[in-house]
A and B are shown apart, each in its own frame.
Chain A
Amino acid sequence: MTRRMGAAALSLAGILVSAYLFLYKRGAIGTLACGDGGCETVQLSTYSAFLGVDVALIGLLGYAALLGVSLLGLQPAWQGRRTVGTLLTVLSGAGAGFAAYLTYLELFVIHAICRWCVASAVIITLIFVLALLDRRRSTQP
């Protein structure tokens, strides 16, 4: 249960980070609090959209799905069931893979680091680790 709580809390953090970047992309919040211009360079690059959809929006929807699954897994009927862990593992695994691809783009293609994107990459990786542990410890199918 603690692992699913952790996944839920991290998913909420991911939602807030993604929402912040998405609002910036939509021109709703002016400049990004970033420390240097790296965030803006990344967010204004052509790689900030994937198949025509803002990467920040993809993150927002992904984290919302993870939060939903984590909270579902805390309900008495679903506690201890491996299905929740499997779903969390698949979702967060895909998210971590996507985050790894984006980090590669930042380092080797765009040559700029967006700290908020790094924060998101760390969050999704932690959720993935928790999901793996949850799946391993779950006793019911």
Chain B
Amino acid sequence: MAADAGLTRFYRLLSAAAVVGGLVLLWLVWRPATVSIPANVVVTAADTAGFRGYPLGAESAPVEIVEYADYQCPACQDFELVQFPDVKKQLIETGRVRWVYRDYPLDNPHPFARLAAHSAACADDQGRFWPQHALIYSGQGEWSVERDASGTFHDYAERNGLDLAKYDECMQSARHAGRIQASYEIGSRLGVNSTPTFLIGGRLYAGRQSSDALKQLVDSLAPVAAPAP
């Protein structure tokens, strides 16, 4: 009889522990995203002061290409993975083009675009923008389908060798939200309405461009000097 009572009490305790544990797991799954980057921020002068995008290449390059892109946009990923390595090798590293990456997050179809942009901005604080940028684009298929991509971006930050305490503080503070929104607003004013869009020589080129097309365009804007006879 006493054994039965003990067993009943044990079942109750075990059931209670199972319910509590299950509820904790459910809470972990359904809790609000740990970090969110607001879109409705008022852009201040400090957000744009001294910031014109993330540059790559020589300042003295004769042509500047500004890319407006969204980290969650598949066409942007395609450009980044397929075309950009050639562009980098043929145009940027040769000193012919100065590349500038600017954020143009399309929040409606791409809920993590702004978070991804902020993760890259926080990496930029530690001088590691481009490696974070590459990790985010190459992992797009992974984090795009998650409920909360901030954990994956945190993993990329770790893989990128960032000081994680500083990175976490940067993400929690959402301090670059204004900078991202400023890039978006500047792009919209220029006429950007899709991604990727490239601003080259004062003209906008919408859609994914091939490295060959970009090279031809750069050739037309800044012909390579013919070798002296």
Residues of A within 8 A of B (CB): 1, 5, 8-9, 12, 15-16, 19-20, 23-24, 27-32, 37, 40-41, 44, 74
Most interface-central of A8, A16, A24 (chain B CB within 10 A): A16
Q: How far is B18's CA from A130's CA once the two chains are assembled, in angstroms?
A: 21
Q: How far is B171's CA from A31's CA once the two chains are assembled, in angstroms?
A: 13
Nearest A residue to B164 via CB reads: A37
Q: What are 20 A-B residue pairs whose CB atoms fall within 8 Å in the complex?
A: A9-B14, A9-B17, A12-B17, A12-B21, A16-B21, A16-B25, A23-B25, A23-B29, A27-B142, A27-B143, A27-B145, A27-B146, A27-B148, A28-B28, A29-B29, A30-B33, A30-B147, A30-B150, A32-B151, A44-B155
The residues of B that contact A32 with a CB separation of less than 8 Å are 151
Q: How far is B136's CA from A1's CA once the two chains are assembled, in angstroms?
A: 53
Interface size class of B (residues with CB under 8 A): 20 to 34
- With A1-B3, A40-B158, A44-B155 in contact, is A20–B28 under 8 Å at CB? yes
The residues of B that contact A1 with a CB separation of less than 8 Å are 3, 7
A76 to chain B minimum Cβ distance, whole angstroms, is: 9
Q: Is the pair A30, B34 in contact by a Cβ cutoff of 8 Å?
A: yes
Q: Is B208 part of the contact surface with A, judged by Cβ < 8 Å?
A: no
Q: How far is B151's CA from A32's CA once the two chains are assembled, in angstroms?
A: 8
Q: Is the pair A29, B151 in contact by a Cβ cutoff of 8 Å?
A: yes
Q: How far is B83's CA from A46's CA once the two chains are assembled, in angstroms?
A: 29
Fill in one digit per residue for B7-40: 1 if any A CB lies within 8 Å of its CB, else 0. 1001000100110010011001100011000000
A136 to chain B minimum Cβ distance, whole angstroms, is: 21
Pair count A-B, CB < 8 A: 58
Q: Is B152 part of the contact surface with A, judged by Cβ < 8 Å?
A: yes
Partner of A19, one of B25, B146, B150: B25
Q: A31-B150, A44-B155 known; 17 other A-B pairs, CB under 8 Å? A: A1-B7, A8-B14, A12-B14, A12-B18, A16-B24, A16-B25, A20-B25, A20-B28, A27-B145, A27-B146, A27-B147, A28-B146, A29-B151, A30-B33, A30-B34, A31-B151, A32-B151
The residues of B that contact A23 with a CB separation of less than 8 Å are 25, 28-29
Q: Is B88 part of the contact surface with A, judged by Cβ < 8 Å?
A: no
10 closest A-B pairs (Cβ-Cβ)?
A: A30-B151, A27-B146, A16-B21, A31-B151, A30-B148, A29-B28, A37-B158, A28-B29, A5-B10, A30-B34
Q: How far is B158's CA from A37's CA once the two chains are assembled, in angstroms?
A: 8
The residues of A that contact B34 with a CB separation of less than 8 Å are 30-31
B210 to chain A minimum Cβ distance, whole angstroms, is: 33
The residues of B that contact A12 with a CB separation of less than 8 Å are 14, 17-18, 21
Nearest B residue to A27 via CB reads: B146
B204 to chain A minimum Cβ distance, whole angstroms, is: 36
Q: Is B215 part of the contact surface with A, judged by Cβ < 8 Å?
A: no
- With A12-B17, A12-B21, A74-B7 in contact, is A31–B154 under 8 Å at CB? yes
Partner of A27, one of B3, B18, B24, B152: B152
